[in-house]
Structures are given as structure tokens and as C-alpha cells.
Amino acid sequence: MALKERIMLYLVSKLKISQSQLFAILTALTATVLIVSNLASTKMFDFFSTGLVWDGGAILFPISYILGDIITEIFGFERAKKKSSGQHLQ
């Protein structure tokens, strides 16, 4: 059994939701991370009191790439491409 099939089976069986619901949840989570990243990019903070001053978007924005990779790995490139183009239209 391929890795993506095992991941899908694990998520669907543990969460007791359908594949389309899981896709909708991951897509909504990705969109939420992108919106919060844009809002947090205006806030500067000291990174663990090290003297490195970053904006919040620098921490949150890479999470959207990780979620996009998860969606692509589980659902395939074609479906991920549709999600991606739908987010750009918003």
C-alpha cells in the first residue's frame, strides 16, 4: 500500500470523515493560514528574546506551503491545482 493511501486511510478512519470533508478542512486551513499570515506580517516581534526581530508572516507563511504539500501528496496534483487556483481567485 502506498504512503498516500495509508495516510488517507489513517486520517479518514481516525477522524471519521469522508475524503471530500478532509479536503475541505485542509483547504480551509490553508486559506486561514494565508489570511492570518498577511495580517501578522504587519506585527514585529522579538524571536524568543534573541534580538532577531521578525514579522509574524515569516513564521506563518511557510505553514501554507506545508499544507499545500500535504494536500498534493494525499489528493494528487490535479485536485491540489484546483484548490490553488480557487484560492488565488478569492
Tell me the per-residue pLDDT of 39-65, one tens digit each, with 9 for 90 and over.
888 878 777 777 888 887 888 888 888
Whole-number pLDDT of residue 80: 65
Task: Give the residue ranges of DSSP H helices in the chain.
Answer: 3-15, 19-40, 56-75, 77-89
The answer to whether the Cα torsion of 18, 70, 53, 56 is positive or negative is negative
- For the cut 70, the answer to whether the pLDDT of residue 81 exceeds it is no
- Predicted TM-score of the model (pTM): 0.71
Other beta carbons less than 10 A from residue 30's beta carbon: 21
Whole-number pLDDT of residue 40: 82
Task: Name the band, by pLDDT with cuts 50, 70 and 90, for residue 17.
Answer: confident
Cell numbers linked to 45: 516581534
